[in-house]
């Protein structure tokens, strides 16, 4: 059976693509090229003195031990947030997929946090965990643990990881639930009749059939952790204490906008862009092979 | 939006028709970063100026926090539509100064506009921060404050201390904080906001110690940081020691920890004198303030404190008659009655000697002594090379690096000595980078 429609000539397809290409060029390629150009310049904040310095911005970054530390922090942060939010969301989705009383309310409540803006989420969490005034922090202290995200880097990192995870669970939950509901009941029921336990059904039937969703969410979550957690970090820790919660994207903001060092900031965003493009490419190349569509 | 413009336009038209028959008013854009009660002060000052004459109209607009406002101004300059007046916080001073061509120095502005302008009428510790070494004013000081020590009088009573004699020296602070801690303030005997402003910048000026060479950067961008001296090291080492049992407890880099004083958690708290409005509104206990403590064995201490806050920069590339309006506005702001109003209503420091003298002789400080504390600190002694102020490029990042190192020391990741040396070395790297950018 022939599925494809064949058009004669090449002008019509290109014409149809044109609006999309225009949008991509204006909103992605043009700003990206500006960033690449800026990363080769040394310029004061006002743009009065500009000189072309080739790769000096890059070489300075790679000579800076702090930059590697920020990369490490970002890596740890990414693995923790993506891992936690994916596994928790999957657990919640599998539970919600069962026929339980009040499933509608349960689902709605789980989706709510997604509607909260990252900065607001950050402020919410700060209110709970602020060492001297926060309700939760007082509880933790009452139990005899010392809790001080203002000075203790691990406490601060835990805090931003928790807030970022909480924020992302809803999104993942939504997709997992949709994925679960599209799995044919007959397959699962057949396995159940054959005597497969719920755990076995999950690992051998549900998860493989869910793999396209898992793959998609891994890609989206990595992008989320790299870029969208900025608001949470800015509201909660501003990258502190002593850079313990500074991720790559926060450093771009800090050096460029607050520090006025546009060249280095641009160089960092180019590196970040390459990293995320590379990471996504790797995911498509290697993980997608194991996905059964 | 269109309706709003139309409305504004027609009101303006009506106003022009009614008041000034001939010439149209010249608009002067003023971008600022003040909120709440301080925003009201800005709006009222602009209103009063607009009513006092018919040729110019000052239009204030709020552009977000200090960093946002500065960035908005810079972005607008790059796009060719900068405001006439831009409020910039004191840490942005070196960046603005280095941007020759983007700014118009205030002394040049006043001279060109033919406005009467006497630099000696202003308080030197305040204007010195924003002037060249020759005393030429570069930007116009607007809201200035200094560090003072706020204390909880009720807590002092509870700990058996005299609420009317706050500690004068650091050893006294440590001893009293221990007593306060024993009296129930177990999480925080004393603390401070603005980690580096209080513990490095003000500390150095108050003890007549240099932060860097070249008069703390005022004499040139080739300045080198030198604040890893034994006195500052001892101070940091003591704080690290006291952090262990929470006699001292760190409250963060900016002023977000100030609530720990007003909530009654920290009975002694060093922060800006501008904290006054907040304390008056929120503290449910008797409070007072006192000058910053000092180490009595450091010769020359206490010297004088330095200021924080913001100043008004005039942006370059505007028309001569617009500059004339800006100059007239600055003359208006310098008027003794306006400065007195600004000082007494907002708690910011007056910038002219006359305004200070008049407030003093009116007996105002008898009622509100806490508003004079920062002025007493600023005028304690004639400023030296170490206490005129500081002017380092990349100051926002410098403060951040210093905070990081203080945090590393307080959390025990590094020794105080290592942290202080690293703060200096890493800071110097940034200073060289700034020097390279501005001298190319």
What residue ranges define each of the domains in chain A, with the CATH number in brackets?
Answer: 53-290 (1.10.3720.10)
Q: Are B414 and B422 in contact (CB under 8 A)?
A: yes
Write out chain B residues lying below 8 Å of A255, CB-based.
Answer: 397
> What is the predicted pLDDT for the residue at B233?
97
Residue B154's Cβ-count burial label (10 Å; 0-12, 13-18, 19+) is middle
Across the interface, do A48 and B252 touch by the CB < 8 Å criterion?
no
> Which of A6 and A154 is assigned the larger pLDDT?
A154
Nearest CA in chain A to B92: A259
> What is the predicted pLDDT for the residue at B34?
86
Q: Is B94 helix (H, G, I), strand (E, B) or coil?
A: helix
Please tell me whether the peptide bond between B162 and the residue prior to it is cis, using omega within 30 degrees of 0.
no
Asked whether the predicted pLDDT for residue A165 surpasses 70, the reply is yes
By percentage, how much of chain A surpasses pLDDT 70? Answer: 96
Write out chain B residues lying below 8 Å of A240, CB-based.
Answer: 252-253, 403-404, 407
> What is the predicted pLDDT for the residue at A30?
92
Q: Which residue in the set A153, A255, A257 is minimally distant from B71, CB to CB?
A: A257
> What is the predicted pLDDT for the residue at B191?
96
Asked whether the predicted pLDDT for residue B7 surpasses 60, the reply is no
Helix (H) or strand (E) holding B28: strand B26-32
| Mean pLDDT score, A30-55 | 85
Write out chain B residues lying below 8 Å of A44, CB-based.
Answer: 95, 98-99, 437-438
Dist CA B277 CA B148 (whole Å): 14
Q: Which of residues 309-368 of B touch A (CB under 8 A)?
A: none
Write out chain B residues lying below 8 Å of A48, CB-based.
Answer: 99-102
What distance lies between CA A135 and its chain's CA centroid? 28
Query: Would you place residue B14 in the very low, low, confident or very high pLDDT band (cuts 50, 70, 90)?
Result: very low
Q: Compute φ and ψ for A4, nearest 5 degrees.
A: -85, 140
| Mean pLDDT score, A222-246 | 86
Asked if B21-145+308-367 and B147-304+393-439 have one fold, the answer is yes
Asked whether the predicted pLDDT for residue A99 surpasses 80, the reply is no
> What is the predicted pLDDT for the residue at A24?
92
> What is the predicted pLDDT for the residue at B440?
56
Q: Is A207 helix (H, G, I), strand (E, B) or coil?
A: helix
Query: Would you place residue B218 in the very low, low, confident or very high pLDDT band (cuts 50, 70, 90)?
Result: confident
Q: Which of residues 22-51 of A touch B (CB under 8 A)?
A: 42-49, 51
Query: Would you place residue A125 in the very low, low, confident or very high pLDDT band (cuts 50, 70, 90)?
Result: confident
The answer, for B393 touching chain A at a CB cutoff of 8 Å, is no
| Mean pLDDT score, A74-88 | 94
**A198-212, B12-26, B217-231: which has the minimum mean pLDDT?**
B12-26
Angle, CA of B95, B139 and B212, to the nearest 5°: 50
Write out chain B residues lying below 8 Å of A238, CB-based.
Answer: 253
The residue assigned the tokens 């420091």 is B349
Query: Would you place residue B150 in the very low, low, confident or very high pLDDT band (cuts 50, 70, 90)?
Result: very high
Asked whether the predicted pLDDT for residue A198 surpasses 80, the reply is yes
| Mean pLDDT score, B114-140 | 87
The answer, for A250 touching chain B at a CB cutoff of 8 Å, is no
Residue B79's Cβ-count burial label (10 Å; 0-12, 13-18, 19+) is exposed
Q: Is the dihedral of CA B69, A227, A276, B400 positive or negative?
A: positive
Give the CA distances from residue A281 to residues A16, A21, A142, A249, B355, in Å, rounded to whole numbers and listed in that order: 27, 21, 48, 20, 67
Asked whether the predicted pLDDT for residue A28 surpasses 70, the reply is yes
Q: B147-304+393-439 — its CATH code?
A: 3.40.190.10
Q: Which residue in the set A132, A255, A258 is minimally distant from B187, CB to CB?
A: A132
Across the interface, do A48 and B100 touch by the CB < 8 Å criterion?
yes
Kindly report the average pLDDT of chain B as a whole number.
89
Write out chain B residues lying below 8 Å of A45, CB-based.
Answer: 74, 95, 99
Asked whether the predicted pLDDT for residue A7 surpasses 70, the reply is no
Structure-token pair, residue B74: 């810079």
> What is the predicted pLDDT for the residue at B297?
94
> What is the predicted pLDDT for the residue at B165?
94
Nearest chain A Cα distance for residue B74, angstroms:
6
Q: Are A42 and A57 in contact (CB under 8 A)?
A: yes
| Mean pLDDT score, B276-291 | 90
By percentage, how much of chain B surpasses pLDDT 90? Answer: 61
Asked whether the predicted pLDDT for residue B15 surpasses 80, the reply is no
Across the interface, do A153 and B411 touch by the CB < 8 Å criterion?
yes
Nearest chain B Cα distance for residue A102, angstroms:
42
> What is the predicted pLDDT for the residue at A98?
79
Across the interface, do B413 and A242 touch by the CB < 8 Å criterion?
yes
Write out chain A residues lying below 8 Å of B397, CB-based.
Answer: 254-255, 258-259, 261
Quote the DSSP letter at residue B64.
S
Closest Cα to residue B26, out of B113, B98, B133? B113
Helix (H) or strand (E) holding A13: helix A11-24
Across the interface, do A241 and B397 touch by the CB < 8 Å criterion?
no
Across the interface, do A242 and B397 touch by the CB < 8 Å criterion?
no
DSSP secondary structure string, A165-186?
HHHHHHHHHHHHHHHHHTS-HH
Q: Which residue in the set B77, B265, B407 is minimally distant from A132, CB to CB?
A: B265
- Is the ipTM reported for this complex over the cut 0.85? no
> What is the predicted pLDDT for the residue at B22?
44
Write out chain B residues lying below 8 Å of A65, CB-based.
Answer: none
> What is the predicted pLDDT for the residue at A3?
60
> What is the predicted pLDDT for the residue at B20?
46
> What is the predicted pLDDT for the residue at A239?
82
| Mean pLDDT score, B296-310 | 92
What global pTM score does this model have?
0.80
The answer, for B408 touching chain A at a CB cutoff of 8 Å, is yes
pLDDT digits (tens, 9 = 90+) for B251-267: 988 888 888 999 999 99
Q: Is B26 helix (H, G, I), strand (E, B) or coil?
A: strand
Dist CA B276 CA B370 (whole Å): 8
Across the interface, do B411 and A259 touch by the CB < 8 Å criterion?
no
Closest Cα to residue B371, out of B388, B347, B390? B347
Nearest CA in chain A to B396: A259
> What is the predicted pLDDT for the residue at A127?
83
Asked whether the predicted pLDDT for residue A45 surpasses 70, the reply is yes
Dist CA A26 CA A48 (whole Å): 26
Task: Work out the number of other CB atoms within 10 angstroms of the CB of residue B259.
Answer: 17
Q: Is A3 helix (H, G, I), strand (E, B) or coil?
A: coil
What distance lies between CA A22 and its chain's CA centroid? 27
Q: Is A161 helix (H, G, I), strand (E, B) or coil?
A: helix
Q: Is B239 helix (H, G, I), strand (E, B) or coil?
A: helix
Half-sphere exposure in the Cβ direction for B167 (13 Å, CA)? 28
Asked whether the predicted pLDDT for residue B329 surpasses 90, the reply is yes
Structure-token pair, residue B221: 């961008």
Q: Which of residues 164-223 of A touch B (CB under 8 A)?
A: none
The answer, for A133 touching chain B at a CB cutoff of 8 Å, is yes
Q: Are A82 and A227 in contact (CB under 8 A)?
A: no
Dist CA B48 CA B66 (whole Å): 24
Across the interface, do A260 and B404 touch by the CB < 8 Å criterion?
no
Dist CA A70 CA A74 (whole Å): 6
Beta strands in chain A (DSSP E): 41-43, 50-52
Q: Are B158 and B184 in contact (CB under 8 A)?
A: yes
pLDDT digits (tens, 9 = 90+) for B62-90: 998 888 899 899 889 988 889 999 999 98
Write out chain A residues lying below 8 Å of B264, CB-based.
Answer: none
The residue assigned the tokens 């669970």 is A169
Dist CA B408 CA A153 (whole Å): 9
Strand order in the sheet with B287-290: B190-192, B268-272, B147-152, B287-290
Given its phi and psi angles, is residue B64 left (phi above 0), alpha (psi -120 to 50 degrees) or beta?
left
State how beta strands B268-272 and B308-315 pair. Answer: unpaired
For chain A, helix (H) and strand (E) counts, in that order, are 14, 2
Asked whether the predicted pLDDT for residue B276 surpasses 90, the reply is no
Q: B21-145+308-367 — its CATH code?
A: 3.40.190.10
Across the interface, do A240 and B101 touch by the CB < 8 Å criterion?
no
Half-sphere exposure in the Cβ direction for B235 (13 Å, CA)? 26
Asked whether the predicted pLDDT for residue B288 surpasses 60, the reply is yes
> What is the predicted pLDDT for the residue at A228?
85
Closest Cα to residue A235, out of A225, A245, A244, A226? A245
User: Where are chain B's structural domains?
Assistant: 21-145+308-367, 147-304+393-439
The residue assigned the tokens 């000081």 is B141
Q: Which of residues 99-158 of B touch A (CB under 8 A)?
A: 99-102
Query: Would you place residue B119 in the very low, low, confident or very high pLDDT band (cuts 50, 70, 90)?
Result: confident
Asked whether the predicted pLDDT for residue B355 surpasses 50, the reply is yes
Write out chain B residues lying below 8 Å of A56, CB-based.
Answer: none
Nearest CA in chain A to B186: A132
> Which of B182 and B1 is assigned the larger pLDDT?
B182
Asked whether the predicted pLDDT for residue B4 surpasses 50, the reply is no
| Mean pLDDT score, B191-195 | 94
């Amino acid at each position: 059976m022939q599925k494809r429609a064949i058009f004669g000539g090449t002008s019509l397809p290109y014409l149809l693509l044109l609006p999309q290409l225009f949008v991509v060029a204006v909103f992605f390629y043009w700003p990206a090229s500006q960033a690449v150009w800026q990363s080769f310049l040394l310029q004061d904040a006002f743009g009065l003195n500009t000189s072309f310095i080739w790769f000096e911005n890059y070489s300075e970054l790679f000579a800076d031990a702090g930059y590697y530390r920020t990369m490490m922090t970002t890596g740890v942060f990414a693995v923790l947030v993506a891992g936690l939010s994916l596994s928790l969301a999957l657990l919640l989705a599998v539970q919600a997929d069962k026929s339980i009383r009040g499933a509608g309310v349960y689902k709605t409540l789980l989706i709510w946090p997604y509607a909260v803006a990252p900065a607001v989420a950050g402020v919410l969490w700060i209110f709970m965990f602020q060492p001297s005034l926060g309700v939760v922090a007082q509880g933790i202290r009452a139990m005899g643990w010392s809790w001080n995200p203002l000075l203790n880097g691990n406490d601060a990192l835990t805090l931003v990881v928790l807030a970022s995870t909480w924020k992302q669970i809803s999104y993942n939950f939504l997709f997992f639930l949709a994925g679960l509901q599209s799995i044919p009941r007959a397959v699962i029921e057949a396995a159940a009749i054959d005597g497969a336990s719920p755990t076995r059904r999950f690992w051998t039937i549900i998860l493989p059939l869910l793999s396209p969703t898992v793959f998609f969410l891994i890609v989206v979550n990595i992008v989320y952790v790299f870029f969208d957690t900025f608001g949470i970090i800015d509201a909660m820790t501003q990258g502190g204490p002593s850079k313990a919660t500074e991720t790559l994207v926060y450093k771009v903001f800090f050096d460029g906008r607050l520090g006025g060092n546009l060249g280095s900031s641009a160089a960092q965003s180019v590196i970040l862009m390459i990293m995320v493009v590379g990471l996504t490419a790797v995911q498509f190349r290697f993980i997608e092979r194991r996905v059964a569509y | 939006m269109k309706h709003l413009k139309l409305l504004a336009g027609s009101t303006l038209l009506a106003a022009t028709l009614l008041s000034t028959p001939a010439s149209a008013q010249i608009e002067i854009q003023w971008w600022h970063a003040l909120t709440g009660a301080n925003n009201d002060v800005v709006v009222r000052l602009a209103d009063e100026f607009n009513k006092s004459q018919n040729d110019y109209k000052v239009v204030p607009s709020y552009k977000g926090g200090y960093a946002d406002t500065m960035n908005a101004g810079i972005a607008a300059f790059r796009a060719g539509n900068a405001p006439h007046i831009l409020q910039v916080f004191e840490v942005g001073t070196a960046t603005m100064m280095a941007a020759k061509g983007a700014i118009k120095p205030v002394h040049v502005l006043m001279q060109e506009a033919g406005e009467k302008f006497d630099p000696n009428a202003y308080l030197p510790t305040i204007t010195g921060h924003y002037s060249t070494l020759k005393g030429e004013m570069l930007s116009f000081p607007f809201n200035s404050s200094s560090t003072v020590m706020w204390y909880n009088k009720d807590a002092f009573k509870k700990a058996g201390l005299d609420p009317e004699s706050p500690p004068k020296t650091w050893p006294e602070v440590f001893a009293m904080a221990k007593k306060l801690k024993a009296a129930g303030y177990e999480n925080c005997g004393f603390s401070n906001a603005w980690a580096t402003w209080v513990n490095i910048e003000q500390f150095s000026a108050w003890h007549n110690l240099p932060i860097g060479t070249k008069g703390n950067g005022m004499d040139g961008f080739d300045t080198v940081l030198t604040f890893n001296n034994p006195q500052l090291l001892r101070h940091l080492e003591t704080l690290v020691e006291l952090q262990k049992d929470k006699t001292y407890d760190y409250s963060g880099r900016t002023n977000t920890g100030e609530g720990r004083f007003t909530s009654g958690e920290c009975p002694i708290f060093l922060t800006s004198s501008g904290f006054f409005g907040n304390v008056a509104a929120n503290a449910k206990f008797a409070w007072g303030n006192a000058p910053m403590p000092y180490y009595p064995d450091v010769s020359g201490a206490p010297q004088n404190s330095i200021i924080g806050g913001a100043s008004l920069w005039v942006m370059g590339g505007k028309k001569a008659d617009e500059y004339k309006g800006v100059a007239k506005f600055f003359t208006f702001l310098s008027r003794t009655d306006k400065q007195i109003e600004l000082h007494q209503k907002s708690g910011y420091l007056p910038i002219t000697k006359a305004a200070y003298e008049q407030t003093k002789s009116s007996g105002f400080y008898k009622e509100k002594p806490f508003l004079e504390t920062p002025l007493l600190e600023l005028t304690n002694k004639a400023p030296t090379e170490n206490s005129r102020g500081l002017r380092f490029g990349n100051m926002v990042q410098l403060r951040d690096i210093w905070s990081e190192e203080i945090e590393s020391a307080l959390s025990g990741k590094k020794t105080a000595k290592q942290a202080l040396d690293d703060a200096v070395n890493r800071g110097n790297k940034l200073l060289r980078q700034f020097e390279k950018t501005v001298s190319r």
